[in-house]
A and B are shown apart, each in its own frame.
Chain A
Amino acid sequence: MDRVQESPRAKATPRDAEPAVEIRELVKHYGATPVLRGINLTIAAGTSVALFGPNGAGKSTLLNLIATLARPTSGTIRVCGYDSVKEGPRARGCAGMLSHAPWVYDRMSVRDNVRFFAKLRGKPLSDGEILDALADMDLDNVADADAGTLSRGMKQRLGIVRAFLGTPALLLMDEPFTGLDRKSAGLLCDRMIRFREAGGTLLTVTHAVSEGWRIATRALMLHRGRLVQDVPVTPDGLESFAAQYDDRMRGEDD
């Protein structure tokens, strides 16, 4: 078995001067169905990338592959310099993931959820640190409540706390704003900004073009398993990007 877990410092440390994500000729098939067809992509450390695309374009599959939750049919993925297949534990040590489901245990208290996932990420937290992490998402007043008793928005905020545990260098977010109320969305945006300022890398999958445009420095569009757009985010670029995105969406509907 891999012994990387014995060294918490090693697992969360990206290799120096390596891109946060480096993908070469990535192909993914489910059975005979091709989902991703030859993706090449490099994401520099410290950037924020938004990935857009219609349903079925392969966005979530791409995110799962980077998170090592899926295995490429062919091609390579390097996360913080670590091969996602051969050095899976080290690649996972660099990456956190926030899905539209919070991935927390309903029948465990909020505090116990944070304590457990911090241990799982190899960075156990003291009671004070747990409360600080919860206060960050305005959840410290419900620390002893079962997660299942929280509102959807609060539970999603607990999912945000979970995703940032273990100080990942790369955060993968799959539709992170889905189901969030205004307050929760604001807290998530603040957290993402602080993460970026600390040198973290964000890869966000979203349908909401204007929201994605606000948080990203680079925008990608995936269509039928291929990257068809890769542009820097500029204040005046939103309109033309949104128009192209709508065209692709219409093409899917037709």
Chain B
Amino acid sequence: MRVFWAILWKDIRYELRRRELVAVMTVFALLVVVIFAFAIGIRSESPASMAASVLWVATSFAGTLGLNRSLALERDEQCLKALLMSPADRSWVFLAKATGNLVFLLAAQVILTPLVIVLFGVEDTGHWSLLGVTLLLGSAGFVGVGTLFATMATSTRMRDWLLPILLFPVEVPVLIAAVKATAHVFSTAPPGESTIWIAILAAFDLIFVSMSILSFGFVVEE
């Protein structure tokens, strides 16, 4: 656990000092939301579905930007090898980087989600705790695979455009489950319908994050 906390705290401290990653992700996500709002109109027949879709499109675009930047930090200064030489199982290195990415993505969502709710006229259904769980699980699934793929892409020359091409097709199940769960939470439907999708999302997370943890050691070794 020592390696996990050391890397996570290093990443958070670095971001607190520089305030780059979350700021760039948030601004980019906000722009995506505003562009969608203008393009498709803010009053739709199904605001819950529309808001959920836009929220997760913006999250995945901004998240990809953040993943690229987070691993670029290790790549530019060639520090990934130093992290990999820590005397611990490499799963801890992966989990620390992924958790850092999750914290930054959730920080961006804290600003993004209220804007989407207001812009698309989502009604107050009072299911805010379910919304929190959905955002957490959806983002965890996204950064779980995303951190692995960003690590793979970072050692290639095509890293800037390789990550989204690799990542988005694989993330489809997580994103569909996240959009469905969020749409149900935003709608006036009974909570039971959203919990089914939240359970599916949790199952995808379990599979994706476990596979990423198991694969990380092979991905980083030459």
Contact = CB atoms under 8 A, between A and B. Distances in A.
Interface of A: 1-2, 4-6, 11-12, 30, 61, 64, 67-71, 88-90, 92-93, 95-97, 99, 101, 103-108, 112, 116-117, 119-122, 162, 166
A1 B91 contact: yes
B3 to A, nearest CB: 6
B78 A101 contact: yes
B83 interface: yes
Contacts, number: 92
A36 to B, nearest CB: 12
Contact of A69 (B14, B76, B81): B81
B218 to A, nearest CB: 8
Contact of B222 (A69, A89, A121): A69
B10 A99 contact: no
A120 B82 contact: yes
Contacts of A5: 1-3, 87-89, 92
Contacts of B188: none
Given A5-B3, A120-B7, A69 B84 contact: yes
Given A5-B2, A69-B222, A103-B78, A116 B10 contact: yes
Max chain A CB contacts within 10 Å: which of B1, B3, B14, B79?
A: B79
A62 B91 CA distance: 24
Nearest to B5: A119
Contacts of A104: 77, 79, 82
Contact of B77 (A64, A89, A105): A105
Given A106-B77, A119-B6, A92 B86 contact: yes
Max chain A CB contacts within 10 Å: which of B81, B82, B92?
A: B82
Nearest to B86: A120
A162 B82 contact: yes
A112 B2 CA distance: 16
11 contacts: A12-B87, A69-B222, A88-B89, A90-B87, A95-B85, A99-B78, A103-B82, A105-B14, A116-B10, A119-B2, A120-B82
A99 B10 CA distance: 22
Contacts of B6: 116, 119-120
Nearest to A93: B87
B221 interface: yes
Nearest to A1: B89
A70 B222 contact: yes
Given A92-B85, A107-B14, 18 more contacts: A1-B91, A4-B88, A5-B89, A5-B92, A71-B218, A71-B221, A96-B85, A97-B81, A101-B78, A103-B77, A103-B82, A104-B77, A106-B77, A108-B10, A116-B6, A119-B6, A122-B3, A166-B87
A105 B2 contact: no
Interface in B1-45: 1-3, 6-7, 10, 13-14, 18
